[in-house]
Amino acid sequence: MATITEAKIIVTSPGRNFVTLKITTSDGVTGLGDATLNGRELAVAHYLQDHVAPLLPGRDPDRIEDMWQYLYKGAYWRRGPVTMTAIAAVDTALWDIKGKVAGMPVYDLLGGRARDSAMVYGHASGATLPALLDDVERFQDLGYRAVRVQAAVPGLSGTYGVRHGTVYEPAGGSLPEEQVWSTEAYLDFAPHYLAAVREKFGSGLHLLHDVHHRLTPTEAAHFGRRVEDLRLFWMEDPTPAEAQESFRGIRQATTTPIAVGEVFNSVWDCQQLITERLIDYIRASVVHAGGITHLRRIFNLAELYQVRTGSHGATDLSPVSMAAAVHLDVTVPNFGVQEYMEHDPLTHEVFRPAYELSDGALHPSDVPGLGVELDEEPAARFPYEPKYLPVHRRTDGSVHDW
Ligand code: KDG
Ligand code: MG
């Protein structure tokens, strides 16, 4: 029996910070798992280094489910983004190893493809409406069939979710930037630019919009109603989801589809949302929701309630995460869409994924395992730099919800 011989944590910042776990077995097979938690990267790196890596040598890499249970239940302290991201890294690396040993792509280990590829959505944004319309057109010309649409809100000094430059990167300075948010200004403006995009591009393009948890349930219900006729693919994160039952009012008020879950880390964050059908899309991801093993459980539960998948896939999810996501996406019957953002070109000096983007969809590679490599020599040239997501304050100075 092969055993795990080494678990190495690689922290690198090619364009942005990434934490990656590399597990090696006594047969010399290696597997990769993403462990990046935006703005809290070193917490996961230390959790892995101090509390997980020492437990792994000598263990059987084949026993993926047992490893998951051992790390989740065995720690006593369950759930939470740091723990679940660390478990995800181990889990993902073991699926990668299992695929390489079996000579199969991970999607085949998961039961085989239920579709050929995973439709993705791109991120169009603009400081002005004309700039936004141009950006949507650019994505359409690139072959995207689904586009998330965000515009800067007039009167605010900055609007989260609007790209600066060519690569979307929400994490910024070495201390969190503080931005002012006005719900009133947003509610006045957003329906107009969404309508303008629908009018220009017609009904053939899927339009998505991210509210970034900024509304109360009542405001979200109002917003969903106002944009109902635009037939959005989804409105994302309309309100914070700690109180799952708060989605009931939004659901009853509007038929605009609801997506939520990029900050979730376990099935317990969305059990009620799914079983009461309070949402249409679950956005939990491989890296933050306990790896392929746990995310598959969430997706399987969602399937029973006609909730589809729409996993988070911003630039803070490394190409290792994206590879794992695409393998899972093509196997689940209730797949909806996959978020996808191009990484900074520097990222590809370190990570070499074999998935391909064409016709607005990601196609998993058919090489054994996940089909992604990490080159440690360039990784060492990009040391960690503290970078934080911004903090939002209301016009009265108090801290706002995300
Ligand atoms: O790390 C946080 C970002 O990934 C997130 O804010 C981006 O909202 C986001 C999205 O939908 O991709
Ligand atoms: Mg989002």
Number of H helices, E strands in the chain: 13, 17
Residue 160 has pLDDT above 80, yes or no: yes
Q: How far out from the chain centre does Cα 382 lie?
A: 23
Residue 94 and residue 61 in contact, taking contact as beta carbons nearer than 8 Å? yes
How far, in Å, is the centroid of ligand 1 from the Cα of 63?
Answer: 32
Cα angle 198-202-203, degrees, rounded to a multiple of 5: 95
* Residue 210 pLDDT: 98
Residue 151 has pLDDT above 80, yes or no: yes
Residue-wise pLDDT tens digits, 74-123: 999 999 999 999 999 999 999 999 999 999 999 999 999 999 999 999 99
For every residue of 252-294, DSSP letters joined together read: HH--S-EEE-TT--SGGGTHHHHHTT--SEE---TTTTTHHHH
* Residue 314 φ/ψ region, left for φ over 0, alpha for ψ in the -120 to 50 degree band, beta for the rest: beta
> What is the token pair recorded at 347?
């990222």
**Which of 123, 212, 312, 343 is labelled catalytic?**
212
Residue 7 and residue 22 in contact, taking contact as beta carbons nearer than 8 Å? yes
- Closest atom of ligand 1 relative to the 160 alpha carbon: 6
Query: Nearest C-alpha to atom 10 of ligand 1 is from which residue?
Result: 314
Q: Could you tell me which residues come within 8 angstroms of residue 204 by beta carbon, excluding any fewer than 6 positions away? A: none
Give 124's strand partners. 149
Look at the block and give the residue holding tokens 């929400």: 170
pTM confidence score: 0.97
> What is the token pair recorded at 360?
């607005």
Residue-wise pLDDT tens digits, 338-365: 999 999 999 999 999 999 999 999 999 9
- Rounded distance, CA 87 to CA 92, Å? 9
Model confidence band, residue 164 (pLDDT cutoffs 50, 70, 90): confident
> What is the token pair recorded at 104?
């199969």
Cα angle 162-121-355, degrees, rounded to a multiple of 5: 115
DSSP state, 169?
Answer: -
Q: State the burial class of residue 57 (Cβ atoms within 10 Å of its Cβ: 0-12, 13-18, 19+).
A: middle
Residue 24 and residue 6 in contact, taking contact as beta carbons nearer than 8 Å? yes
For every residue of 20-63, DSSP letters joined together read: EEEEEETTS-EEEEE---TT-HHHHHHIIIIIIGGG-TTS-TT-
Helices 319-329 and 291-304 pack at an angle, to 10 degrees, of 40
Model confidence band, residue 395 (pLDDT cutoffs 50, 70, 90): confident
CA-nearest of 181, 51, 124, 100 to 365 is 100
Residue-wise pLDDT tens digits, 276-324: 999 999 999 999 999 999 999 999 999 999 999 999 999 999 999 999 9
Give 194's strand partners. none
Pocket test for ligand 1, best of 312, 338, 343 (most atoms within 8 A of CB): 312
Q: Does ligand 1 lie within 6 Å of residue 316's CB atom? A: yes
- Rounded distance, CA 370 to CA 105, Å? 6
Q: Does ligand 1 lie within 6 Å of residue 150's CB atom? A: no
- Rounded distance, CA 278 to CA 225, Å? 16
> What is the token pair recorded at 356?
């391909």
Q: How far out from the chain centre does Cα 378 lie?
A: 25
Q: How many CA within 13 A on the CB side of residue 311?
A: 33
User: What element of type H or E holds 102?
Assistant: helix 81-102
- A 10 A CB-CB count for 357 gives 17
Is there a catalytic annotation at residue 212? Answer: yes
> What is the token pair recorded at 242?
């700690």
- For 374-378, the CB contacts below 8 A with 24+ separation are 374/10, 374/20, 374/22, 374/32, 374/320, 374/350, 375/349, 375/350, 375/351, 376/10, 378/14, 378/349, 378/350
Least confident of 151-165, 176-190, 200-214, 366-380: 151-165
- For the chain, the distance separating the N- and C-terminal CA atoms, rounded to the nearest angstrom, is 48
Is there a catalytic annotation at residue 281? Answer: no
How far, in Å, is the centroid of ligand 2 from the Cα of 237?
Answer: 7
* Residue 158 pLDDT: 81
* Residue 169 pLDDT: 86
* Residue 150 pLDDT: 97
> What is the token pair recorded at 236?
């994302």
- Rounded distance, CA 295 to CA 139, Å? 29
Average pLDDT of the chain is: 97
In 3-state terms, what secondary structure has residue 119?
strand
